[in-house]
Structure 1
Amino acid sequence: MRRKYKEKIISKELYDRAFPDKQKALDYALDIRKFEIELYWKRATYFWAFIAVAFAGYFAILSAEGEKFEGITKDHALLIVSCLGFVFTFGWYVVNRGSKFWQNNWERHVDMLEDDVIGPLYKTSINMKHAKMRHIYSEYPFSVSRVNQILSLFLCLIWIIFLLNSSNSIIGFIDIPDYIFVIVFCGMTILFVLSILIFGRSTPNIEKDKSRSNIFITRNRFLE
């Protein structure tokens, strides 16, 4: 039988009361956050390896001579590889979102705990209001996790196109001209590059400060 859990919003006062030893709690939160970031990149490497193998397999089959490949037709083999590639790529997208959730969870714990121990060190960052997208030689606050999520979605669409193409080769339900593929692939490429530039930015909840002279600004991400 499924248990039902009641959600409870904790105020800052109740949160402080729940963790009397702020130093130990902060140490644990920092360690677990670091562990989550390490897991994030290990998972990314794991999925990238499978996706790279799937791409290599797809183009190896595509370039193979003859209509048969290991006892099955080339089109059937391409369809199987396309399905595998799509499933692993979609799994990578979902895992990216899950990893980001838990990383944010522990970052918010650090935000809550650090003030009474070391001050607002972690949530204080340099003022990036001077950073402009057009300044290609300087830094810009892009979010690595958001860029990864957009890339995983882009690869999902690539696999869907491969899957439809191989399915069409087997069933022959529609004759797709070559220029349609060129338009679709080029259009998708431009669209996702723009998506990275627009939606790949970090957007922390930062206290409003219109002064460009301030070097540092502090995030205000306390639990509601």
Structure 2
Amino acid sequence: MSDRPEDSLSKKEIYKIALETRNMEIDLFWKRSNYFLVLNTAVAAGFFLKAGDDHQLPLGLFGLIIALLWLFVNAGGKFWQSRWERRLHVAEEALNPEIKLFSSDWAEINKDVKESIDFSKHSGIRKCLDYLVLNKPSVSFMMELLSIAFIILWVSLIILEVLSCK
């Protein structure tokens, strides 16, 4: 008797577990990001309200630590999301290679999106936004960039605070 999960679970069950876990990872990514965004914003409000106060430098350092943690948490969350998307790809190919939901190649994915956008027949600003969509900006990457922007903000504010104390 084998102890491999594939032996006791059907391919459909494995696929369902992978899909649910991937969706959970995405949900957790956004919950964590929202938490860090709110926390960073609160610390920034405190920093600016304490202008010229002795508490500004500690708040700046705390904000920097929070922003660094945010970046690392984002990267860790993206790691697990990517892992489960890969498992979905593998499970989908084992279940039915014709499905091509997570196992599509980039050419097929881009073709699907372009056909969907062409079907909508947008004009004006919507057509410009469609062009942006076709360039596939990553929403998780944008959140990682936001955490980096906060890191840059905090480093800048700390430097300005240190220089103003001299």
Structure 2 distance, partners of 1:146, 1:56, is 25
Deviation, 1:106, is 0.4
TM-score normalized by the length of structure 2: 0.76
Q: CA RMSD in A?
A: 2.2
1:167 aligns with 2:123: no
Query: After the TM superposition, which residues 66-145 of structure 1 pair with which residues of structure 2 at under 5 Å, given as runs?
Result: 74=53, 76-118=54-96, 119-124=99-104, 125-127=109-111, 136-138=128-130, 139-140=133-134, 141-145=136-140
Q: Which residue matches 1:150?
A: 145
Paired position in structure 2 for 1:8: none
Percent identity of paired positions between Structure 1 and Structure 2: 28
Question: SS at the partner of 2:50?
Answer: helix
Higher helix share: 2
Amino acid at match of 1:148: M
Deviation at 1:129, TM superposition (A): 7.3
Give 5+ residue unaligned stretches, structure 1: 1-16, 68-73, 173-224
Q: Deviations over 1:85-115 (max 9, x none)?
A: 1100111001000000000000000000012
Number of equivalenced pairs: 141
Task: Decide whether the 8 Å contact of 2:63 with 2:154 is kept in 1.
Answer: yes
| Higher strand proportion | 1
1:36: how far off?
0.5
Q: Which residue of structure 2 lines up, in the alignment, with residue 215 of structure 1?
A: none
Q: Does 1:38 align with 2:33?
A: no
**CA shift for structure 1 position 120:** 2.0
Q: Where does residue 188 of structure 1 map in the other structure?
A: none
Residue identity opposite 1:115 in structure 2 = E
Query: Counterpart in 1 of 2:122?
Result: none
Other-structure match for 2:17:
28
* Deviant stretches of 4+, over 3 Å: 128-131
Instruction: Indicate the SS of the match to 1:120.
Output: coil
3-state SS, counterpart of residue 95 of structure 2: coil
Match of 2:42 among 37, 53, 59: 53
Q: Contact (CA 8 Å) 2:74, 2:144: kept in 1 or not?
A: yes
1:146-175 per-residue CA deviation (whole Å, 9 max, x = no partner) reads: 1111121121011001111111222x1xxx
CA deviations 1:40-99 (Å, max 9, x no partner) are 01101110111010111111112xxxx6xxxxxx1x211011011110011100100000
Which has the greater radius of gyration? 1
Aligned mates of 1:44, 1:77 — CA distance in 2: 26
8 Å Cα contact 2:90-2:103 kept in structure 1: no
Residue segments in structure 2 that go unaligned for 5+ positions in a row: 118-126
For residue 126 of structure 1, report the CA deviation from its aligned partner: 4.0
1:176-191 equivalences in 2 (<5 Å): none
